[in-house]
Structure 1
Amino acid sequence: MSFQNTLSYAKELDANDQLAAYRDQFHFPKIGGKEVIYFTGNSLGLQPKRSADFVEEIMKDWRELAVEGHFYAEKSWWDYHERLAAPLARIMGAKTPEITVMNTLTVNLHLLMVSFYRPTAKRYKILCEEKAFPSDQYMFQSQIKFHGLDISDTIVEVKKREGENFWRTEDVLAKIEEVGDELALVLMGGVNYYNGQVFDMQTITKAGKDVGAVVGWDLAHAAGNVELDLHNWDVDFAAWCSYKYMNSGPGNASGVFIHERYHGRTDIPRFEGWWGTKKETRFLMQPQFDPMDNADAWQISNAPVLALAPYLASLEMFEEVGMEKLIAKRNKIVSYLEFILREIDKEVESTFEIITPEARGTQLSVFLHGEGRPIFDYLMKNGVITDWREPNVIRLAPAPFYCSYEDMYRFGQILKRGIEET
């Protein structure tokens, strides 16, 4: 597609954008009285205006019904989390019974490791990408220590090639084959937080399964961002946060996928609590755990409905639009942003290196050769909310729900001034 770096062209793109009206359904911070250009939906999505109504509904029920709200609220609390399963299943490419919502992301990954990381004397190694998100690294290390294993011998990292900023799928597959029958678990980030690369999850999952390993995915940067088909890819388990592209609020609840092959089993190791027991017998207070026959068997405590309310509000928007339209706009607006960056690069004495490969979602990671932290500070002071990563990278994530093409043009002009003035 032939783009133009002009305000009139950007406005024309917005006028033809099917999702343009959704921008007005979000709250934008303001700097200097003007709405910011918001590039950090990959860290915390903006607040949908309808979220407050969903929270207030629960507050009203709490005021008026107190404990009876568990059963007699219009959206009863005891099964509130079940309302999120079907819309999430459509986003994640899953069957509804394979989805549950509980806790937060790293807590859920730890709980899933209880079930799906079962090291033996021969098969004990964990494969991940090098420099995985720190929380995942800490989780791996603590799980390995819990099992009494040696971290350096157990963690197998797939590295990028010298001089390259991305991982090659063939290198991941080669490492899986190399580790072979010593490999217990493949657990990677489906979209890398630093460079924005989308891994070939289907191919990697098959390779891991072919050598007898369990395969899971941390989908923190993938959920609501890229096309997923977890059930048909034969993924064993996955977890994701909801506060990035899914706009559910800071630190909010995590979604979980557990393939149906593990449902209804009483022999699987699992940390259990009474909300994972069958609804029919839950309040009989029986001494033996009787698991739900779906992913809810991994639930431990009753759902934090005040946290789930804004998540449900956001999922309502995903249901209205659908991932197909979101991905179509994502592809176009990210391509336009890339065009703007390259045009500005031609106009100023600076060099930008986009380190995000073609296999990407909403994020572009840009290495600013010859520029330092001052350009990031300039952007922030001038109404561009973006993200800095050492040593010299800004991450730009134009979320398709609320970012406009005019935002991309305006960002380019601010960036140009910043380079010229700093």
Structure 2
Amino acid sequence: MTFQPTLDFARQMDAQDSLRSFRDQYLFPQHQGRKCLYFCGNSLGLQPKKAGEFIKKELQHWQELGVEGHFEGELPWTQYHKSLAPASAHIVGAQADEVIIMNTLTVNLHLMMVSFYRPNAERFKIIMEAGAFPSDQYAVESQVRWHGYDPAEAIVEVAPRPGEALLHTEDILAAIEQHGAQTTLVLFAGLNYYTGQVYDMPAITAAGHRVGAYVGFDLAHAAGNVPLHLHDWGVDFAVWCTYKYINSGPGAPSGAFVHAKHGNKPQTPRFAGWWGHNEERRFLMEKGFDPIPGAAGWQLSNAPILAYAPMRASHDLFLEAGMPALRAKSEKLTAYLEFLIDSLNIDEPRFDIITPRDPAQRGAQLSFLTGPTGKQLFDYLTQNGVICDWREHNLPGEKGEKAGVIRIAPTPMYNSFEDVWRFADLLTKAQL
């Protein structure tokens, strides 16, 4: 497609967009009487207009039925989590019984590591990306220490090559091969939060399995963003948050995936709780944990219904739009943003894009370094109604004046081509 750097072209693209009506299903923060240019779905997605309606329905349910709401009404609370399975399975490419919405992301990561990080004298290493999101680093380090190992020996981090921002798949696979005999778990993000790079999850999974390790992914920035096929890839487990691209509300419950090859084995080790016990016998109050087949067998506690409710509003929209259509629009939106930024670099290199140029290797995100005036640029954008993200820290090994990055996430569910054009227009006018 041949792009043009004009407002008329952006509006023509919007007129041809088959998903344009979904934008009207979300509530935007306002700036000087108009919608903000909201590009922060990689941190917190916008509120679906029907979220409040779903919450009010459960408040009414509680008011009218009290505790009997667990068993009576249109959707009894003991069954509520099942209503979230179809969309969750669609988003991550799973069977419905392989997914569960519960807890929060890092809690679920710990629960999955209880099951899939079981080190011994021969196999005790975890292979992960250098510069992973801090919560993952802390979780992994604490799990390693809990089992009595030294993180310096047990954690193998794969870093970008000197002077580069992105990981090479061959370097990841080489690390797995090199440490394979001592590795029990390969744990990567599906998409790097800083650069927007999508990792080759099928290749990483296959490599991990070849050396006899389990393979899991933190999909916090990938779920609802890029195509996923966890079941077909044979991934052992995955976790994700639902408040970013899945637009389920601040701190919304997390998702977890457990492949059927593990979820349907009662002997798969796990921490047990009442809500993961055999549904037919749950209220008999007997000893002896009998896990529900599938990912639901990892549930611990009664579900947070009022936190689940807005998820239904978001999930309905994902099922209606469909991940293939969302991904197709996402690639066009991000490519248009890339084109516009490149146009601003013709006379002098102002914005250094560190996100992969290949659309297949990136999500709905462009991250760019801006040199020593980057924070001033971010403040200027904020003052002009742009909501995006600034990160002060460096990539692994990165030093000097290019420290820090502006992340822009044009989200296909509610961002438009005109949004992208207006953002680039502000960059054009920036006097920094």
SS in 1 for 2:199: coil
Q: What are the superposed Cα offsets for residues 381-416 of structure 1, whole Å, 9 maximum, x if unpaired?
A: 100111001223100000001101001111111112
* Corresponding residue pairs, total: 419
Distance in 2 separating the partners of 1:342 and 1:257: 39
Aligned to 2:42, the other structure's residue is in SS state coil
Contact 1:350 / 1:371 at 8 angstroms: preserved in 2? no
Matched with 1:375 is 377
Residues 327 and 264 of structure 1: CA distance in aligned 2, closer, same or farther (over 3 Å): closer
The amino acid across from 2:61 in the alignment is D
1:38-117 equivalences under 5 Å are 38-117=38-117
1:370, CA displacement in angstroms? 5.1
Deviations 1:273-309 (A, max 9, x none): 1100111101111111111011111000011111111
Letter in 2 for 1:379: L
The 1-side partners of 2:318 and 2:428 are apart by: 35
**How far is 1:311 from its partner?**
1.1
Structure 1 residue 32: Cα displacement = 1.6
User: Over aligned residues, Cα RMSD in angstroms?
Assistant: 1.0
User: In structure 2, what is the equivalent of residue 212 of structure 1?
Assistant: 212
Residue in structure 1 matched with residue 390 of structure 2 by the alignment: 388
Match of 2:230, SS state, is coil
User: Which residue of structure 2 aligns with residue 404 of structure 1?
Assistant: 416
Q: Give how far 1:88 is off.
A: 1.1
Q: Whole-Å Cα distance in 2 between the matches of residues 375 and 264 of structure 1?
A: 52
Is the 1:350–1:369 contact (alpha carbons within 8 Å) kept by the matching residues of 2?
no
- The alignment partner of 2:192 has SS state of coil
Code of the residue aligned with 2:405 in structure 1: it is V
Deviation of residue 77 (structure 1)? Answer: 0.5
Matched with 1:132 is: 132
- State the alpha-carbon separation in 2 of the partners of residues 282 and 265 from structure 1: 19
The separation in 1 between residues aligned to 2:224 and 2:280, in whole angstroms, is 33
Match runs of 1:342-353 below 5 Å: 342-346=342-346, 351-353=350-352
User: What TM-score results when the alignment is normalised by the length of structure 1?
Assistant: 0.98
**Structure 2 segments unaligned to the other structure (5+ residues):** 393-402
CA distance in 2, matches of 1:351, 1:379: 15
Which residue number in structure 2 is paired with residue 231 of structure 1? 231
Cα deviation for residue 34 of structure 1 reads: 1.7
Displacement of 1:268: 2.5
Task: Work out the CA distance in 1 between the residues paired with 2:346 and 2:131.
Answer: 32
Displacement, 1:220? Answer: 0.3
Secondary structure of the 1:335 match is helix
Query: Over residues 36-89 of structure 1, what are the superposed CA-to-partner deviations in whole Å (9 max), with x where a residue is unaligned?
Result: 001100000000001111111101101111111111121110110111112211
For residue 135 of structure 2, what is the amino acid of its counterpart?
S
Distance in 1 between the 2:372 and 2:16 partners?
A: 37
- Separation in 2 of the partners of 1:25 and 1:354? 31
Report the residue type matching 2:386 in the other structure: V
Matches of 2:196 and 2:376 in 1, distance apart?
A: 23
Q: Distance in 1 between matches of 2:345 and 2:385?
A: 21
The CA deviation string for residues 356-377 of structure 1, in whole angstroms up to 9 with x for no partner, is 0121010110111353211100
Opposite residue 351 of structure 2, the aligned amino acid is: F
Name the CA distance, whole Å, in 2 between partners of 1:312 and 1:213. 35
Per-residue deviation, residues 107-156 of structure 1 (Å, max 9, x unmatched): 00001111110001010000000011000000011101110111100000
**Which residue of 1 is the match for residue 355 of structure 2?**
356
Rounded Cα–Cα distance in structure 1 between residues aligned with 2:268 and 2:224: 30
Q: For 1:169 and 1:263, how far apart are their aligned partners in 2?
A: 29
| Equivalences for residues 159-198 of structure 1 within 5 A | 159-198=159-198
Q: Which runs of 5+ in 1 are unaligned?
A: none
| Large movers: runs of 4+ above 3 Å | none
Aligned pairs for 1:7-46 (under 5 A) are 7-46=7-46
- In the superposition, the TM-score normalised over structure 2's length comes to 0.95
| Conservation of the 8 A alpha-carbon contact between 2:266 and 2:293 | no
Name 1:416's counterpart in structure 2: 428
8 Å CA contact retained: 2:220, 2:240: yes
Cα distance, 1:322 vs structure 2: 0.3
> Contact between 2:326 and 2:413, CA under 8 Å: does it hold in 1?
yes
Distance 2:251 2:145 in 1: 27
Residue aligned with 2:390, SS: strand
Paired with 1:215 and 1:227, the residues of 2 have a C-alpha distance of 18
